[in-house]
Amino acid sequence: MDWVTLPKVELHLHLDTSLNFEAAVQLKPSLTREVFLRDYVAPEKCLNLADFLSRVPRILELLQTERGLQLLTQEMFRQLADDHMLYAELRFAPLLHTQQGLAPKDIVRIIEAAADKGSKATGIETRLILCSLRHFSADQSMETVQLVDQFKGSRVAAFDLAGDEAGYPLATHLEAFRFAKDRHIAITSHAGEASGAQSVWETLDQVQPDRLGHGVRSIEDPALVARLKQMQIHLEMCPTCNVQLEVFPTYPEHCIDRLYREGLSLGISTDNRTLTPVTLTREYEKMAATFGWGKQDFQKCNVNALNAAFVPQPIKDDLLRRLNAAYDRA
């Protein structure tokens, strides 16, 4: 089976940590591929999430100008096109790009315009998610969610909380989540990745998200798995990234196949393309080789992901039609 040309849906993709060498070398001409692989790409196995995230400042250093953000987004679309993406949601934390004086609002405007251009040039439908981070203050979280509100009607479609789940509490960010609820802003939140089932329960109860980023450690609690199924909460799963971060020791031990067989709504994403050196096509190849997944399984996951996508229903219906037609033909 040729996994490359099948249309794909990706809901969990961090833009900043997907900076490719081609964009990086334009922003830092002295950079060699060797140094890029050593200092910007994380090893196949990291000690923990904090170790993995330690490479982020080096990447962010290159993403503090309008040109940097435009190149990042433009090259992202090239990577998406290589994967035959039908629909992608790209996420980033605007407040991480202010080191050289760009205003958060301008950062969102620059990336939104570049994503709009990339989407029109490639035909890949796109929405953006603005992230707060666990180590941010309550004010920074609030500033981020207010940006989502200010950009309503653009490609900016949702709010997320990412970062070091085990190191920082959820409580700091509850006010921002309440604002999102009050303003009918769609919510996804990272939970059940670096921390266990308790973190997922806490997020479900206190945040009431539309979707969960990862959520893989829900497998530790059968009652939680049942709850996720009953609530039809979609899980954005990134198996290679989870193995890299030792959430699961090996790919075959990843819970994605078990939770899929349980009937949970889940989809496959990469999380990012640089810190985790993977493509979505490669992820499909690994799923097929490891768990014996076939065309129908990927079709089902992509339909699940589209149904959970933060895009208006008429666009969703059109994407579903195109996706199903392509899989039926393949």
Which one, 17 or 73, has the nearer CB to Zn ion? 17
Distance between CA atoms of 309 and 316, rounded to whole angstroms? Answer: 8
As measured in angstroms, the least distance from the Cβ of 276 to Zn ion is 10
Which one, 75 or 271, has the nearer CB to Zn ion? 271
As measured in angstroms, the least distance from the Cβ of 291 to Zn ion is 22
As measured in angstroms, the least distance from the Cβ of 120 to Zn ion is 26
Distance between CA atoms of 186 and 207, rounded to whole angstroms? Answer: 11
As measured in angstroms, the least distance from the Cβ of 204 to Zn ion is 18
Q: What is the DSSP letter of 245?
A: T
Which one, 194 or 219, has the nearer CB to Zn ion? 194
Which one, 91 or 155, has the nearer CB to Zn ion? 91
| CB neighbours of residue 257 within 10 Å | 16
The catalytically annotated residue of 165, 193, 236, 283 is: 193
As measured in angstroms, the least distance from the Cβ of 275 to Zn ion is 10
Distance between CA atoms of 88 and 82, rounded to whole angstroms? Answer: 13
* H runs (alpha helix) in 189-266: 197-207, 222-231, 239-244, 256-261
Which one, 268 or 320, has the nearer CB to Zn ion? 268
Under the rule (CB under 5 A), what is the footprint of Zn ion? 271
Smallest CA-to-CA distance from 151 within 120, 116, 177 is with 116
Which one, 83 or 271, has the nearer CB to Zn ion? 271
**In this structure, are residues 18 and 53 in contact, taking their beta carbons and an 8 Å threshold?**
no
Token code pair at residue 218: 């829900």
Instruction: State which amino acid sits at residue 124.
Output: I
Q: Which residue number has the CB closest to Zn ion? A: 271
Phi and psi at 70, nearest 5°, equal -65, -45
Whether 193 is a known active-site residue: answer yes
Distance between CA atoms of 277 and 85, rounded to whole angstroms? Answer: 18
Give the CA distances from residue 288 to residues 96, 178, 262, 280, in Å, rounded to whole numbers and listed in that order. 36, 40, 18, 12
As measured in angstroms, the least distance from the Cβ of 281 to Zn ion is 19
Smallest CA-to-CA distance from 191 within 233, 138, 151, 244 is with 233
Distance between CA atoms of 211 and 236, rounded to whole angstroms? Answer: 7
Enumerate the active-site residues.
193
